[in-house]
Amino acid sequence: MSAPTTTTPTTTPPTPPRATAPGRPARPSTPRLALMVAEREVVTQVRTKSFIISTAILFAAVLVSIVAGALLAGSDDPTKVAVVGTAADVVADMDGLEPVDAADRAAAEQLVRDGDVSAAVVPDEENVLGFRLLALDSAPEEVVAALSVSPEVELLDEPDTDEGLRYLVSFGFGLVFLMSAAGYGATIAQSTVQEKQSRVVEILLSAVPSRALLAGKILGNSALAFGQTAGLAAMAVIGLVVTGQEDVLDMLGAPLVWFVGFFLIGFVLLAAMYAASASLVSRVEDVGSVVMPSTMLTMVPYFGVIFFNDNEVVLNVLSYVPFSAPVAMPMRLFLGDAMWWEPLVALALLVVTTLGVIAVGAKIYERSLLRTGARVKLGEVLRQA
Amino acid sequence: MLKIEGLNRSFGDRQVLHDITFDVARGRLTGFVGGNGAGKTTTMRIVLGVLAAESGSVTLDGHALTAADRVDFGYMPEERGLYPKMKVAEQVAYLGRLHGLDRGAAMDRARDLLDRLGLAERADDPLETLSLGNQQRAQIAAALVHDPQVLVLDEPFSGLDPLAVDVVVGVLAEYAASGVPVLFSSHQLELVERLCDDLVIISGGRIRAAGGREELRAAHGTTRFELVTDGDVGWVRSAPGVQVVDFDGGYALFEAAEDAAQAVLRDALARDAVRSFTPVRPTLGEIFREVVADEPELEVAR
């Protein structure tokens, strides 16, 4: 507060008001007000350092994981093998093996010991094959496999998805939902309490119905969460295509679309809960404890799906519970064990729950906004006629 | 005219407003005076529709207030509040938009107001970097940005330096002069006394007095007289029907009925040269104390 209080002398007071009101602007409709609130919410958020930094980190993380994935997948780098004399012919045409010439057996042994090569192929007249392999402390599987003859294997019932990928996908869906919901939930809670703490809420309420305020807050933050997630997804898709990993995309396809739908509605559900619970307290310091139930409900789907991703019964149940459906149902679709109607039923349940929570949340929000001081008791707010 | 009739409101078991009734006339500044917790803020919140009354009505020119009317109200809550991290001009314009101005008009109006309130150089700084006095000016800009047709200001002068008080007084007077009903509360009784045309005194959730300033002065408190003569006025103490409040040589301040006072004046003229004889109207502070005297626990904050 260093600014001088009286920089300017008393000047003419603001223009006198118009005497009558024929050309006064009409009161904006509730949806328009909600949009204005949403716009402010987005603009303010996007300008904060924390938003810029966290977005940059997220994008970098996705980029790094895709590039890393490409590198790991493409790690068919030829295995280096030392070759001595005539043994060179054995390795010459082998895929995946890169011969390194060595003068004699001693030199080849040295290369193996130094770790420059995985194994050495040296001539051995006594052996049927005419060569033998030298390795440090274990049989060099890759080289053995490359130099062996093995029968062609044909699987009659090829599995669509392997364990690792299943785990990865459940982890991915869960993580995206958890991060967005918890992150933006906290943002909504903060912004609600800040408006209460800074008392600006009273001025806002004199112009904007609390419904529009709540709707705008949810809308703005949902748009941000969704925009950010969509941006990440777009980058992931482009990255996968550029690095030649399109096959992963083919597998995700439809479940991803469902995930988007569930994500949107599930997010609104949690957002309403965060806003309503945050409106009960008046100080930013108290936000943590009051949003705890919402935070728990945000965590449930994540851990539930991670822990039980191979337990069909639990996963089935989770895919219908509104709080975990956004993660569990796309997961089941991905695994291919959900009937076509199941996501529709789960989505309907989610929508109904969301509408109910919004209705109750709006009441709590409306009744608590102007109550400052001690934490408002939930029961007290709900009992009010 | 803004008419407030029979407002009742409780918080939990405690009834904080009892049958609040008063008018805010067009073209007049109405001061709303009361101790802490008397019910001023609750009443103003109900007028603004921020809070609902359990019973009673608020009407403007005879029709019940709707949300559409209230959008033209200018409100300054007692608990000041704007977004601390938002730029001043931006948030004043934002509030203008919420009141129905379009984006461009809102920004023009915000800049214009801030300029007139002496905040032009700070218009693009975040609010929290401003001094408290300047934040207060920004708050006033926020209340006026949409060119309100009714002004309700809760303690508009608290925290303002004298120059800023003059600016705000000027604004209020202009708004009132143009026919806008202006209701404001204040603890600064002498300021209210200087400014107001009408007064409403509230205490313990009840209206104790309401009306024109001069009428209230005439109706409340006792009229006193001040006498200054060249000689000693000790004799006034023994004059019939006179209660001397203060006395010092040729100066006396006394309470008396009109007749007794005139008798004293005649007597004084007969004795010495009279320099001055004036009826002293009670100050607002005195009226206030008298009116709320039956509220012993009341803190009279100045």
Tell me which of A89, A115, A147 is where a domain ends.
Answer: A147
How many Å apart are CA A118 and CA A355, to the nearest integer?
63
Of B117, B134, B141, the CB nearest to A5: B134
pLDDT at site B124: 92
How many Å apart are CA A324 and CA A174, to the nearest integer?
9
Domain count of the fold of chain A: 2
Across all residues in chain B, what is the average pLDDT?
86
Answer yes or no: do A113 and A198 share one domain.
no
Cross-chain residue pair B149–A26, CB shorter than 8 Å: no
Interface with chain A: mutation pick from B50, B70, B145, B151, highest number of A CBs within 10 Å: B50
Q: At residue B302, does pLDDT exceed 80?
A: no
Is residue A13 included in any domain, yes or no? no
Cross-chain residue pair A200–B83, CB shorter than 8 Å: yes
Cross-chain residue pair A202–B51, CB shorter than 8 Å: no
Closest chain B residue by Cα to residue A30:
B98
pLDDT in tens, B219-258: 776 778 999 998 888 888 888 888 888 888 889 998 888 8
Q: Which residues of B touch A203 (CB under 8 A)?
A: 75, 77, 81-82, 95, 142-143
Tokens of A231: 């941006």
pLDDT at site A301: 74
Dihedral sign computed on CA atoms, order A243, A255, A356, A307: negative
Answer yes or no: do A95 and A204 share one domain.
no
Mean pLDDT in residue range B261-283 = 88
Interface with chain B: mutation pick from A10, A37, A49, highest number of B CBs within 10 Å: A10
How far lies A34's CA from each of A38, A74, A376, in Å?
Answer: 6, 50, 25
Tell me which of A92, A115, A147 is where a domain ends.
Answer: A147
Mean pLDDT in residue range B184-196 = 85
Every domain range in chain B assigned CATH 3.30.70.250: 222-280
Q: Which residues of B touch A366 (CB under 8 A)?
A: none
**Structural domain containing residue A135:** 79-147
Q: Which residues of B touch A19 (CB under 8 A)?
A: 178-179
Share of chain B above pLDDT 90, in %: 22
pLDDT in tens, B92-125: 999 999 988 989 999 999 999 898 888 889 999 9
Is residue A84 included in any domain, yes or no? yes
Answer yes or no: do A282 and A375 share one domain.
yes
Q: How is A247-266 classified by DSSP, letter by letter?
A: HHHHHHHHHHHHHHHHHHHH
Answer yes or no: do A240 and A116 share one domain.
no
Every domain range in chain B assigned CATH 3.40.50.300: 2-218
Domain B222-280, CATH: 3.30.70.250
Domain B2-218, CATH: 3.40.50.300
Cross-chain residue pair A200–B179, CB shorter than 8 Å: no
Confidence of residue B289 (pLDDT cuts 50, 70, 90): confident
What CATH number does the domain containing A107 carry? 3.40.190.10
Interface with chain A: mutation pick from B47, B73, B98, B174, highest number of A CBs within 10 Å: B98
How many Å apart are CA B150 and CA B165, to the nearest integer?
20
Residue A99 — left, alpha, or beta (φ > 0 → left; ψ -120 to 50 → alpha)?
beta
Answer yes or no: do A140 and A283 share one domain.
no
Residue closest to A200 by CA, chosen among B217, B92, B62:
B92
Cross-chain residue pair A27–B71, CB shorter than 8 Å: yes
Cross-chain residue pair B116–A12, CB shorter than 8 Å: yes
Answer yes or no: do A131 and A219 share one domain.
no
pLDDT at site B11: 85
How far lies A88's CA from each of A61, A124, B176, in Å?
Answer: 44, 13, 104
pLDDT at site A36: 92
Between β-strands B182-185 and B29-34, what pairing exists: parallel, antiparallel or unpaired? parallel
Amino acid type, A20 = T
Answer yes or no: do A214 and A95 share one domain.
no
Residue closest to B184 by CA, chosen among B144, B221, B145, B214:
B144
pLDDT at site A125: 77
Q: Which residues of B touch A206 (CB under 8 A)?
A: 48-50, 70, 73, 75, 77
Answer yes or no: do A197 and A271 share one domain.
yes
Closest chain B residue by Cα to residue A20:
B149
Chain A closest CA to B103's CA: distance in Å?
Answer: 10
Half-sphere exposure of A171 (CA within 13 A, CB side): 6
Answer yes or no: do A131 and A216 share one domain.
no
Answer yes or no: do A174 and A129 share one domain.
no
How many Å apart are CA B282 and CA B137, to the nearest integer?
33
C-beta separation of A334 from A274 below 8 A: no
* E-strand stretches of chain A: 79-84, 97-102, 119-123, 131-134
pLDDT at site A164: 67
Residue closest to B142 by CA, chosen among B186, B88, B84:
B88
Answer yes or no: do A224 and A341 share one domain.
yes
Is residue A24 included in any domain, yes or no? no
pLDDT in tens, A230-278: 888 888 888 878 877 777 677 666 777 788 888 889 889 999 999 999 9
Q: Is the pTM of this model over 0.80?
A: no
Is residue A15 included in any domain, yes or no? no
B52: exposed, middle or buried (C-beta count within 10 Å: 0-12, 13-18, 19+)? exposed
Q: At residue B183, does pLDDT exceed 90?
A: yes
Closest chain A residue by Cα to residue B145:
A14
B264: helix, coil or strand?
helix
Cross-chain residue pair B116–A14, CB shorter than 8 Å: yes
Is residue A2 included in any domain, yes or no? no
Q: How is B71-132 classified by DSSP, letter by letter?
A: TTEEEE-SS----TTSBHHHHHHHHHHHTT--HHHHHHHHHHHHHHTT-GGGTTSBGGGS-H
Which portions of chain A are predicted below pLDDT 70? 1-25, 73-78, 93-96, 155-167, 169-170, 248, 251-253, 372-373, 384-385
Cross-chain residue pair B149–A17, CB shorter than 8 Å: yes
Interface with chain B: mutation pick from A6, A36, A194, A202, highest number of B CBs within 10 Å: A202
DSSP A85: G
Cross-chain residue pair B131–A3, CB shorter than 8 Å: yes
Residue the block writes with tokens 């926020």: B142
A337: helix, coil or strand?
coil
Answer yes or no: do A277 and A130 share one domain.
no
How many Å apart are CA A159 and CA A175, to the nearest integer?
25
Dihedral sign computed on CA atoms, order B59, B61, B62, B63: negative
Cross-chain residue pair A14–B99, CB shorter than 8 Å: no
How many Å apart are CA B147 and CA B189, to the nearest integer?
27
Backbone phi, psi, residue B210, to 5°? -155, 140
Is residue A1 included in any domain, yes or no? no
Of B116, B134, B143, the CB nearest to A13: B116
The sheet with strand A97-102 has its strands ordered as A97-102, A79-84, A119-123, A131-134
